[in-house]
Amino acid sequence: MSGLLINYNQAAVNSYNALDQTNGALTQIVGQLSSGLQIQSAADNPAGYVIGQYLQQEANGYTQAISNAQDAVSVLQTAQGALGQEASILQTMNTLATQAANGGTQTSSTLAANQAEFASLQSELDQIASSTNFGGTALLNGSYTNQTFQVGPYNTSSDQIAISISSSNSTALGVNTAAVSIGSVTAAEAAMTAVQAAIGTVATQAANIGATQNQLTALSANLTTAQENIQAAHANLVDVNVAQATTQFTQLQILEQGGVAVLSQAQQLPSLATKLL
In this predicted model, what pLDDT tens digit does every residue of 51-76 receive, in sequence order?
A: 888 888 999 999 999 999 999 999 99
pLDDT, mean over the chain: 86
> pLDDT (tens digit, 9 = 90+) per residue, 142-176?
999 999 999 999 999 999 999 999 999 999 999 99
Residues linked to residue 37 through DSSP beta bridges, in sequence order: 239
Contact present, 117 and 95 (Cβ < 8 Å): no
Could you tell me what percent of the chain has a pLDDT over 70?
Answer: 84
pLDDT at 24: 67
> pLDDT (tens digit, 9 = 90+) per residue, 206-258?
999 999 999 999 999 999 999 999 988 888 877 666 667 677 767 767 777 77
Q: Per-residue pLDDT for 262 more than 90?
A: no
CA neighbor of 81 nearest in space, from 21, 148, 134: 134
Nearest-angstrom CA–CA distance, 159 and 155: 7
Name the pLDDT band for 31 (thresholds 50, 70, 90).
low
How far is residue 58 from each of residues 39, 53, 65, 204, measured CA to CA in Å? 18, 9, 10, 37
Please name the fold of domain 70-238.
Answer: f41 fragment of flagellin, N-terminal domain (1.20.1330)
CA neighbor of 58 nearest in space, from 217, 195, 230: 230
pLDDT at 251: 78
Nearest-angstrom CA–CA distance, 230 and 183: 65
pLDDT at 128: 97
Query: 239 or 188: whose pLDDT is higher?
Result: 188
pLDDT at 17: 82
pLDDT at 182: 94
Domain boundaries, the chain: 10-38+239-276, 70-238
Query: 156 or 30: whose pLDDT is higher?
Result: 156
**What's the pTM?**
0.74
Query: 200 or 270: whose pLDDT is higher?
Result: 200
pLDDT at 273: 63
Nearest-angstrom CA–CA distance, 70 and 72: 5
Nearest-angstrom CA–CA distance, 252 and 117: 88
Name the pLDDT band for 18 (thresholds 50, 70, 90).
confident
Contact present, 69 and 223 (Cβ < 8 Å): yes
